């Protein structure tokens, strides 16, 4: 009986260790990537303020060709919602809403993930003038992983995973804007 108690206690301790570790891990994450685009700031901003244009450059928008998309509201304005639904768990189901626009400067979004997990995160895109024909574009993503789910930070590198996808999207955006004239 004593050995059974010792085994059960050992199992309990092993199971409790991850939960104890999670108490000391961060809950929040913030990821940002940037790219310089050889176009005037206002031209760049006028393209990125339309959420539907993310379908052209976002890595996530191209991950499932069978993804269903729907839109609500007037694109390029606060309150516009872009929703997606995919059977692919890497894409899932969710929606993105324009929450704030500082014209020519920054767009703030709220991302609401529904499947394969529920979460609400914040994202933004901003533009800064470097020169008359050079614009610095930043794309950022912030979120929170509540206890005990924050234990995933030990096993998943969110900075790399999300950051690489943001950078891919920014490079796609750069290629689109630099290879075409939007005024044609």
pLDDT digits (tens, 9 = 90+) for 154-176: 777 778 888 999 999 999 999 99
Phi, psi of 175 (to 5 degrees): -60, -40
The answer to whether residue 22 scores a pLDDT higher than 90 is no
Model pLDDT, residue 150:
66
Contacts of the segment 109-118: beta carbons below 8 A, 24+ positions apart: 109/51, 111/141, 115/89, 116/89, 116/92, 117/92
Model pLDDT, residue 52:
97
By the 8 A CB rule, do 41 and 127 touch?
A: yes
Model pLDDT, residue 69:
96
Residues 6 or more apart whose Cβ sits within 8 Å of residue 124? 106, 107, 108, 109, 138, 139, 140
Nearest to 164 by CA among 61, 75, 33: 33
Residues 6 or more apart whose Cβ sits within 8 Å of residue 176? 47, 56, 57
Model pLDDT, residue 114:
95
- Distance (Å) of CA 34 to CA 41, 78, 147: 14, 23, 30
**Strands across the sheet containing 119-131:** 28-37, 134-144, 119-131, 106-115, 93-102, 81-85, 68-72
Model pLDDT, residue 181:
63
By the 8 A CB rule, do 39 and 178 touch?
A: yes
Domains and CATH numbers, the chain: 27-179 (3.30.530.20)
Nearest to 87 by CA among 63, 104, 103, 70: 63
Model pLDDT, residue 184:
47
Give the mean pLDDT of 126-130: 98
Tell me the two tokens of residue 23. 């108490």
Model pLDDT, residue 178:
96
Q: What is the mean pLDDT of the chain?
A: 90
- Chain center to CA of 43: 23
The model's confidence at residue 35, banded by pLDDT at 50, 70 and 90, is very high
């Amino acid at each position: 009986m004593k050995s059974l108690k010792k085994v059960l206690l050992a199992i309990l301790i092993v199971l409790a260790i991850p939960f104890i570790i999670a108490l000391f891990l961060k809950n929040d994450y913030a990821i940002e990537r940037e790219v310089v685009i050889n176009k005037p700031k206002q031209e760049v901003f006028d393209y990125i303020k339309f959420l539907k244009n993310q379908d052209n450059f976002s890595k996530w928008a191209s991950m499932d060709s069978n993804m269903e998309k729907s839109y609500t509201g007037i694109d390029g304005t606060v309150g516009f919602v872009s929703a997606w639904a995919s059977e692919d768990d890497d894409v899932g189901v969710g929606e993105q809403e324009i929450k704030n626009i500082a014209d020519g400067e920054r767009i703030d979004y709220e991302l609401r993930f529904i499947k394969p997990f529920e979460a609400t995160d914040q994202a933004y895109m901003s533009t800064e003038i470097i020169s008359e024909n050079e614009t610095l574009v930043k794309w950022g993503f912030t979120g929170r992983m509540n206890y005990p789910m924050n234990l995933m930070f030990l096993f998943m590198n969110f900075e790399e995973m999300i950051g690489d996808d943001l950078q891919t999207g920014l490079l796609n955006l750069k290629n689109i804007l630099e290879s075409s004239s939007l005024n044609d």
